[in-house]
Amino acid sequence: MINKPIRKDEQMKILFGTTNESKLRSMRRVTDDMGIELIGLSDLRLPLPEIEESGRDILKNAELKARAYWQAFHIPVFSCDSGLYFDGVEDSLQPGTHVRRVNGRDLTDDEMIDWYGGLARAHGGTLTARYRNAVCFVADGEIVSERADDTLASEPFLLTDKPHAKREKGYPLDSLSADIRTGRYYYDLPDASFEDNSVDRGFYAFFRDLLQLLG
């Protein structure tokens, strides 16, 4: 059960270290009633630092990005990193932290659909998958809070070899994703309530705890 929202007049401006507008919209839905003014990198209209995501895991990558954006803009910032993992797939084919990068280059949305659809096809038509997420918040140049536990992991789902007709820019694998219980594409299911989305609940809890920590 979600706690009582923070009052709207207690707004705090936080930079979300992403240029992905779909991710920014999704996170704004999570933080909408928490008294947070969430801005994205494109809102700044400033040159962005080049960041090599060379961390050993998703939490280290989130930290690298958050520190770099704070150094560049000197405003409270959080960054996320995600990893995708499949059951029954050899390690060399696990996307892990490099979901979009394949064979040394970043794929377009359409190329991702083709690549991962082909991977599912090579494993019988579906793969059981799970996203793991990490988040790091930096203010005054120091890590204030970070998290990469199961509260930020998605529930298992199916990745199929046949894409749905619907596309959302920045979320190409949603077109291949299906509910593990019914086998239906998520795009064909009724809109889930906020309380039914485990990842949204995890991010909500992170920001709730962060705001309590900041007092």
For the cut 90, the answer to whether the pLDDT of residue 55 exceeds it is no
Residue 185 lies in a domain: yes
CA atoms of 144 and 215, how far apart (whole Å)? 12
- Into how many domains does the chain fold? 1
CB 77 within 8 A of CB 36: no
Residue 93 lies in a domain: yes
Give buried/exposed letters for 77-90 (b at 16+ CB in 10 A, else e). Answer: bbbbbbbbbbeebe
Indicate the pLDDT class of residue 44, thresholds 50, 70 and 90: very high
Residue 3 lies in a domain: no
Domain range enclosing 106: 8-190+197-214
Among candidate residues 48, 39, 44, 40, the one with its CA nearest the CA of residue 12? 39
Q: At what angle do helices 198-214 and 21-31 cross, to 10 degrees?
A: 60
The strand pairing partners of 178, in sequence order, are 158, 185
Residue 2 lies in a domain: no
How would you classify the pairing of strands 77-86 and 101-102? unpaired
Mean of all residue pLDDT scores within the chain: 88
Residue 35 lies in a domain: yes
Indicate the pLDDT class of residue 1, thresholds 50, 70 and 90: very low
pLDDT in tens, 96-128: 888 998 988 999 999 999 999 999 999 999 999
Residue 96 lies in a domain: yes
Domain of 13: which CATH number?
Answer: 3.90.950.10
